Amino acid sequence: MATLHSKNTARVTGLLYLGLAVAGAAGFLTIRPILFEAGDPAATLAHLTDHLSLARAGVVLELLVVLTQALAAAGFYRLYRGSDPVNAAGIAAFGLVNSVAILASAAMLGTAVEVADQPFGDAASTVQLLYLVSGHLWTVGGIFFGLWLIPMGLCVRGVLRWLLVVGGIGYVLGAFASYVTPAVADLLVVPATIGELWMIGYLLVRAPAVRQSPVAGPGVSTGATPALGGRS
């Protein structure tokens, strides 16, 4: 029964993590570039005015990022709390902080939509500023997104473990590099992207049965662990 419970938790957590990835890609990586014109407030306002429905969809997708990450953080905690309580708590805590950062970003985008729909004052500058702050919330929030990947990696083994840990460190460094060498920042998140996709597949397909015994080692999984590339 405990094994079935942990497998179901793994699958639900994997679905939430997949939802986080899809919502982030659709909203921040797809819709935002369509609407936001760096250095051109008038163009940004015009895009929002002409595509209000798309702009509203962008807000909804950001809220989905918040919801799925918060629930995924809780799912990871439930999955690994018995075998590695410290790292399980780390995933939950860092994931929730990052969710709060994106929640603030969603509020900024929602305000920008309202200003575009019912303009007042210098609407173009206001909308541009709101989008800029939203983007920087994603950038600085990368610190906590990176931090949630590190304990996540420590809960598994093999190649996936090191992809997530290295990727998490890359995200943290990338937040700083974004303000110094943006091109380097883009490269630093590559290991994390690979590790996250692998982790999603691992949770959905392998559905690790995590031992809940107090004698189990950190992040030990039964059956599926060797498929991750062996022990570190």
Q: What is the pLDDT of residues 34-55, one digit of tens each?
A: 999 999 999 999 999 999 999 9
Helix then strand then coil, % of the chain, to nearest 5: 80, 0, 20
Residue 172's SS3 state is helix
Return the pLDDT at 98: 96
For the chain, residues with pLDDT lower than 50 are 1-2, 213-232
pTM: 0.86
Return the pLDDT at 6: 82
Q: How far apart (Å, rounded) are the C-alpha atoms in residues 148 and 159?
A: 18
Return the pLDDT at 123: 96
Return the pLDDT at 7: 86
Return the pLDDT at 209: 61
The helix (run of H) or strand (run of E) holding residue 222 is strand 221-222
Q: How far apart (Å, rounded) are the C-alpha atoms in residues 67 and 207?
A: 22
Query: What is the residue-averaged pLDDT of the chain?
Result: 89
Return the pLDDT at 206: 80
Return the pLDDT at 232: 32
